[in-house]
Amino acid sequence: MATFIALYPLQSAGAGQASDAPAANAAVRVGMKNVDFHLTDTIIVHISALDGKLTPKQGQIPVFDDKESFGLDVDSADITVSMTALTNDLNEYVFAKANAPLKKLNVTTKGKELVVKGLLVSKGGVPFETSGTLTVTPEGMIRVHTTKVKALKLPVKGLMDLLGVDTADILNTKKVEGVTVDKDDLILDPGKILPPPELSGHLASVDVENQAIVLAFKSPEQTGTQTAVTSSCGGRNYLAFKGGSVRFGKLTMSDTDLELIDSDPADPFDFAIDHYKDQLVAGYEKMTRKGGLCVHMPDYNKIRPTSNPKQQPSK
């Protein structure tokens, strides 16, 4: 309760001062460092570093309790997606719809190649396996170039032969958002194939390292004049928000100056947007002389229930 009592004056001050209006309309800059970010309980990506801003949806301000109320507009970021996280993402998000063409997917790596196994439901549940290399298109999409295809453990000439002539109907944005087909290659939109908050930005490179996919974002239009958001609370692992307005719980912070800091910086900051209140209540906060907040939080994986065996952090 101490956390929420301390925050109420910020809400009252923000609502009652007309001078806060320009700040409320400004973008909320965001910086992250060494964070295991839970997009869902089972889809967790590791953010080594990120700089960008929160983009509100439909004219609203970003609301932490509704991760679809905002997106992450990335200027630069280094994000790692483990095979566990990618497998969960494909099964529980990308191909989760009942009429999705692929089911029971499992993703591994072999050297620099991505190996995907599963069932082609649209062809009667035929088991398949594909291998492919990853590159970035000029538009910042992920191209999975198919090098090998098997169906029923038999070699198939190509992806088109496996999927059939109705490929455009099988893998289109109506059934699978963020996934399209270009001859024998799959084209993945990195901002659409992960759960909210939606990620936008220019993907500069993609690689397979240590059995994980490493995504590097870098805006080609970035001028370098925008100062990156860093911790002013002394945090080593953190999420920092500066400027504009954000809402969390019943509270709204104008001219935002908020940092969520890892209480145990010996390992990555395990942060769950769906359970941030649990971390908030279990932590403590300090107000700065300028009216900002430094909120020290425990890792979610150290306070969460452990009944879900699939709930594993991405490393």
Predicted pLDDT at 168: 46
pLDDT-derived band of residue 23, with 50, 70 and 90 as boundaries?
A: very low
177 vs 201: CA distance, rounded Å: 17
39 vs 22: CA distance, rounded Å: 31
- Greater confidence (298 vs 101) lies with 298
Q: Which one, of 266, 260, 267, 315, lies nearest residue 293 by Cα?
A: 260
Q: Which one, of 100, 84, 104, 101, lies nearest residue 38 by Cα?
A: 84
Q: Are 121 and 162 in contact (CB under 8 A)?
A: no
pLDDT tens digits for range 213-245 = 999 999 876 555 567 899 999 999 999 999 999
pLDDT tens digits for range 150-206 = 877 655 555 555 555 344 444 444 567 888 888 778 889 999 999 999 999 999 999
Question: In this structure, which amino acid lies at residue 231?
Answer: S
pLDDT above 70 covers what percent of the chain? 79
Torsion sign (Cα): 280, 283, 284, 285? negative
Give every CB contact of residue 219 below 8 A, 6+ residues apart in sequence: 74, 75, 76, 201, 202
Predicted pLDDT at 7: 43
Q: Are 303 and 272 in contact (CB under 8 A)?
A: no
Predicted pLDDT at 292: 94
Three-state SS at 244: coil
Q: Are 145 and 154 in contact (CB under 8 A)?
A: no
pLDDT tens digits for range 251-273 = 899 999 999 999 999 999 999 99
Residue 101: pLDDT above 50?
A: yes
Place of tokens 């590791």: 46
E strand map for the chain: 28-38, 44-56, 70-82, 102-110, 113-120, 126-136, 142-151, 154-156, 179-182, 185-188, 198-200, 203-209, 212-218, 238-242, 245-248, 251-254, 257-262, 269-272, 284-287, 293-297
Residue 299: pLDDT above 70?
A: yes
Q: Where are the domains of the chain?
A: 2-77+223-302, 84-188
Predicted pLDDT at 153: 63
